[in-house]
Amino acid sequence: MQSEPDRLFSRATFLASAGTLQEFPADGIREVAFVGRSNVGKSSAINALAGRRRLAFTAKAPGRTQTVNFYDLAGAARLVDLPGYGFARVSKSVREGWERLVGDYFGAGRPLAGVVVLMDARHPMTSHDERLLGWLNTFELRLLAVLTKSDKLSRSEGTVTLNRTRQNLAARCEETILFSSSSGAGVEQVRELLWRWVAAGSAAAANKRPPV
């Protein structure tokens, strides 16, 4: 039998692609945002969580039109794929586009259950990652660090990286999880944590309803 988190994620469907603030959905459904360096494995991670091959598009060319992509989870919550950052070779205007779009997203007071920060398990905490984490901390959001492509590390390298990064982020992230879209490592753990974030939000929202 499927667990509740598995059931929720298996119902993910594409909802909308937005290139400007005005196009973001405005219905107040809680969101979990995914952010990370370009090519970190973000689209693959969203596909692995949903148990689908092509929900999010993988390996897009850097410098493509940047959009924020919204995925519906059975009307109960939403996954939000923010454009990747840290392109080495893109123009200033593309970088500025990223800052405007992602800045608009976080500055717009979205109903955020939390943010998943993806970093490559082979070299987490690059200067770009550090800057992003520092900036996200100013919003006082729940953060989960996901260390991608862990299949590229040996078991012992994975353990060392996980422990070091977890320690490093203890004050900033609720949890740090080793993850691989290829091997499936960490998929259940991430589903479970995000499901708790979303469920906690619904309970809080229910409690806030005025008594009838």
Q: Tell me which residues touch ligand GDP (CB under 6 A).
A: 36, 38-44, 58-59, 84, 148-149, 151-152, 180-182
Contact (Cβ atoms closer than 8 angstroms) between residue 119 and residue 186: no
Pairing of strands 175-178, 112-120: unpaired
Based on CB atoms, which residue is closest to ligand GDP, 6 or 151? 151
Least distance from ligand GDP to the Cβ atom of residue 154, Å? 14
Least distance from ligand GDP to the Cβ atom of residue 182, Å? 4
Q: How far is CA 126 from CA 135, 137, 149, 183, in A?
A: 14, 16, 16, 24
Other beta carbons within 10 Å of 127: 8
Based on CB atoms, which residue is closest to ligand GDP, 8 or 187? 187
Based on CB atoms, which residue is closest to ligand GDP, 152 or 196? 152
Least distance from ligand GDP to the Cβ atom of residue 62, Å? 8
Least distance from ligand GDP to the Cβ atom of residue 158, Å? 12
Beta strand residue intervals within the chain, DSSP E: 12-18, 31-36, 68-73, 77-81, 112-120, 143-148, 175-178
Based on CB atoms, which residue is closest to ligand GDP, 11 or 152? 152
Least distance from ligand GDP to the Cβ atom of residue 75, Å? 25
Say how far apart CA 97 and CA 148 lie, in whole Å. 25
Based on CB atoms, which residue is closest to ligand GDP, 84 or 124? 84
Say how far apart CA 68 and CA 132 lie, in whole Å. 17
